[in-house]
Amino acid sequence: MTGHSIDPVKWLKSHNGSKGGGSKAANKWKPEIKQALKANGLPTTAAYVNAWIRQIQTESGGNAGAIQSASLHDGNEGANRARGLLQVVPTTFAANKLPGHGNIMNGLDNAMAAINYAKKRYGRTGMLQVIGHGHGYATGTNNARKGYATVFEKGGEIMNLRGGEQIIPNDVSIAAIERVINSDIFNRTQSAVYEAISRFADGIREEKDKQQQTEMRRNLEYQALKEQNVKLTSLVEKMDAIISTLFNLEDSNERIANKSNVIDRYSLGEEVNTIVDKRERHKNRKARFKPSVT
């Protein structure tokens, strides 16, 4: 005896001894899920209840005492390891627990906090697009299922998980990033990154300048070749004209050379007679038409 009175209900809850703890099949948690949904002002329809039952199966398989393995180093280490029915990390649980339900190892309390978180993040109806689809990575998990899964549930990349990978929850990721940003390491790293980016950009600009110079040189060479082709074409046309003229002269000279220069006396006499005959006829015509003088 210690001399101090102990509230047995409070003691049992703090030691995971309330009826909200333990392990059972996921679908056996329906009464607690309905109570948690109602406490968060959400419908207790089959769509909501079944979605969260599937989520329980994904996260803990129905074991309200499940705790993330200490061998996994994902940012949820030490006191911040994911735990409970829906594998909520303590920081997320503390920010989303409902009044009077502060035992993370109690299945009902854990479900209330997880549902409250999902309602804030995804909205009343939006959560149905995320919860119960085989992943629960907004709040982290230590038992990722094999296959494709959306890890940034408001729109993001799809990963092909082998199974068993650890997903860092959103709030822990943000806290880790903020810690890094506020550290001296980030300042040094930021400077190094900026310097690397600057060097990379300089390299790109230099390569681009080289490409532009090469392109300009090619254009100039092309223009010079084009001008030379025009000149050569004109020269060829002139040479063709000269050659044609030479061929014509050669043909004419050949005809002249082959022409006979011997005077045929018979042909000449005939030509003379023809001329004399024409002359005589002309004189006779003039004589006939000449008026007589009386």
**pLDDT reported for residue 266:** 66
Cα-based distances in Å from 120 to 95, 157, 277: 11, 22, 137
Asked whether residue 1 carries a pLDDT value surpassing 50, the answer given is no
**pLDDT reported for residue 77:** 58
Asked whether residue 119 carries a pLDDT value surpassing 80, the answer given is yes
**pLDDT reported for residue 135:** 58
For the CA atoms of 92, 98, 104, 105, the dihedral, rounded to the nearest 10 degrees, stands at -150
8-167: CATH topology? Lysozyme (1.10.530)
Render pLDDT for 190-244 as a digit per residue (tens, 0 to 9): 677 667 666 766 677 777 778 888 888 888 888 888 888 888 888 888 888 888 8
Per-residue pLDDT, averaged over 250-265, amounts to: 66
Lowest mean pLDDT segment, chosen from 16-25, 205-214, 278-287: 16-25
* 2 against 68, higher pLDDT: 68
Per-residue pLDDT, averaged over 18-39, amounts to: 88
* 85 against 154, higher pLDDT: 85
| Percent of the residues in the chain that have a pLDDT greater than 90, as a whole number | 26
The sign one gets for the Cα dihedral 96, 100, 104, 109 is: negative
Distance between CA atoms of residues 152 and 58, nearest Å: 17
Cα-based distances in Å from 110 to 32, 75, 102, 197: 10, 20, 8, 46
**pLDDT reported for residue 274:** 82
